[in-house]
Amino acid sequence: MKKIAMLGAGFIGRFYADALQGLRSRDKVVCIYARREESAKKFAADYNCEHWTTSMEEAVANPDVEVVCIALPNNLHEEAVMLCCKHKKAVITTKPLGRNAEEAKRMLLAVEEAGIFNGYLEDLVYTPKFIKAHESVKNGAVGRVLWAKSRETHPGPHSEWFWNIEQAGGGCILDLGCHCIEIGRSYIGKDIKPVEVMCWADTQVKPIDAEDHAIGLVKYENGAIGQFEVSWTFRGGMDLRDEVMGSEGTIWINSFLRTGFEMFTTGKGADYVAEKAESNTGWLFPVGDEVNELGYNHMFMDMFNSMEKGVDPRETFYDGYVVNAIIDAAYKSAKTKLWEPVKLDIWRGKEGLTKDSHLVEYDADNYLIKEEMTHYGAKKVIVKNKHTGKIEEKEVK
Ligand SMILES: NC(=O)c1ccc[n+]([C@@H]2O[C@H](COP(=O)([O-])OP(=O)(O)OC[C@H]3O[C@@H](n4cnc5c(N)ncnc54)[C@H](O)[C@@H]3O)[C@@H](O)[C@H]2O)c1
């Protein structure tokens, strides 16, 4: 059993506590820190925590606490991480790791210097559908990954600090793009270096300084391309979708709006439907077990199992840092309208890869372009001669 201090009694702090204590878990939130006394007390009562406090350091230093879980606004992540380093407590933190790569790098170096366990709580690479899809990709089911797209769009966040660029550090690119980028990176290979980013971003609807809508492309050293689509202005709930295109196959995942659960109600008795659902009448798309569908259960299982085994979890501060570096390049590109390099002072993956060969051998003299069975019963092959470059079509018996 691990004893946890939760820093932050808000939206994600409660989702995390539901995941940690919802299913006869062995792990327990023993201490809650919140900015306001009434929120701390309410959380402590709801989750049966022995200690509550409005002092962040008191929560981290509490001798009963073994692991600190950071669920605070983005501008407070670094301060909380530094306290964990000071008091030598294992730390797991929500996304994004930092408001930018500079902050993320300081946090990464500090936890490694302090020698404390560090986990990056990127839940969307732990959803049941992602885990299964990722396993298939690793086993070669889609061949070479050519393109991995991830989309997270919704009508905008629920607390005022997200809309303040100083506290949040950015708009929907930082808030939602961090999920999409790590999903794309995971499908393409976390050891493959992201090299360049091209991004369009704009503030189309909300009266804010940050972007509320963006689309970006992340180029990887092996020729694969990642794509993210993010918005705080999307109407109709929370749209979480991934697509992977490989040389041998395709994956489409819809994690939230169309999960196979559809319901109609006139509105009588209807209440909460799902995170950021905009309506509770008419045809609805509820989510069976949100905590599980959003990956929180599998994420914490990996974090605590890894902690006990003394190994790194699947997602560490290093991953959070790489994601922040890609996001920095996206912000730069949105301004310059150019492909911008991803600046990675720390890179622990493969180096010097070139684009994988895309040529498929048909026979000694030809490369294969395409095979097709036609509706009139002929099997055709289209090939390219290796020596002359001539493209020919043949009928195969
Ligand atoms: N899927 C996810 O992984 C996910 C989802 C939502 C939020 N988050 C992340 O979790 C973190 C917290 O977001 P949230 O949605 O829980 O926010 P929130 O506003 O609902 O809660 C933040 C909590 O932090 C505490 N706090 C301490 N000092 C504060 C201050 N100066 N201003 C505001 N709150 C203060 C309060 O207890 C507050 O309840 C952010 O980094 C956010 O990006 C992650």
Residue 277 included in any domain: yes
User: Are 69 and 137 contained in the same domain?
Assistant: no
User: Are 97 and 178 contained in the same domain?
Assistant: no
Percentage helix, strand, coil for the chain under 3-state DSSP, each rounded to 5:
35, 25, 40
User: Are 163 and 113 contained in the same domain?
Assistant: no
Answer yes or no: is the C-beta of 291 below 6 A from any ligand 1 atom: no
> For residue 210, what is the domain's CATH number?
3.30.360.10
The Cα–Cα gap between 314 and 305 comes to 11
User: Are 131 and 178 contained in the same domain?
Assistant: yes
The string of pLDDT tens digits covering residues 147-204 is: 999 999 999 999 999 999 999 999 999 999 999 999 999 999 999 999 999 999 999 9
Answer yes or no: is the C-beta of 305 below 6 A from any ligand 1 atom: no
User: Are 276 and 326 contained in the same domain?
Assistant: yes
Question: In sequence order, what E strands does 46-204 have?
Answer: 51-53, 67-70, 90-94, 118-121, 145-153, 194-202
User: Are 175 and 243 contained in the same domain?
Assistant: yes
Instruction: Pick from 43, 159, 290 the residue to mutate for probing ligand 1's pocket: most ligand atoms within 8 Å of its CB.
Output: 159
Point out the ligand 1 atom lying closest to the alpha carbon of residue 56.
27
Answer yes or no: is the C-beta of 71 below 6 A from any ligand 1 atom: yes
Which of 124, 144, 169 is the endpoint of a domain? Answer: 124
User: Are 28 and 157 contained in the same domain?
Assistant: no
Answer yes or no: is the C-beta of 98 below 6 A from any ligand 1 atom: no
Phi, psi (degrees; rounded to nearest 5) at 217: -120, 135
Element (H, E) at 335: helix 317-336
Q: Please, which pLDDT band fits residue 267 given cuts at 50, 70 and 90? A: confident
Confidence (pLDDT) at 326: 99
Decide if pLDDT at 269 tops 80: no
How many whole angstroms from 130 Cα to the centroid of ligand 1? 25
> For residue 107, what is the domain's CATH number?
3.40.50.720
Which amino acid, 38?
Answer: E
How many whole angstroms from 73 Cα to the centroid of ligand 1? 4
Q: Please, which pLDDT band fits residue 270 given cuts at 50, 70 and 90? A: low
How many whole angstroms from 72 Cα to the centroid of ligand 1? 4
Are 64 and 45 in contact, with CB atoms under 8 Å apart? Answer: no
Residue 168 included in any domain: yes
The string of pLDDT tens digits covering residues 373-397 is: 999 989 999 999 999 999 999 998 7
The string of pLDDT tens digits covering residues 110-153 is: 999 999 999 999 999 999 999 999 999 999 999 999 999 999 99
Structural domain span for residue 143: 127-293+316-341
How many whole angstroms from 316 Cα to the centroid of ligand 1? 20
Are 130 and 295 in contact, with CB atoms under 8 Å apart? Answer: yes
How many whole angstroms from 337 Cα to the centroid of ligand 1? 32
Q: In what order do the strands lie in the sheet with 391-396?
A: 361-363, 366-373, 379-385, 391-396
Answer yes or no: is the C-beta of 226 below 6 A from any ligand 1 atom: no
Confidence (pLDDT) at 76: 98
The percentage of the chain sitting over the pLDDT mark of 90, rounded to a whole number, equals: 88
Residue 159 included in any domain: yes
Q: Please, which pLDDT band fits residue 325 given cuts at 50, 70 and 90? A: very high
Residue 346 included in any domain: no
Number of domains the chain contains? 3
User: Are 234 and 202 contained in the same domain?
Assistant: yes
Enumerate residues 6+ apart whose C-beta is below 8 A from 361: 367, 368
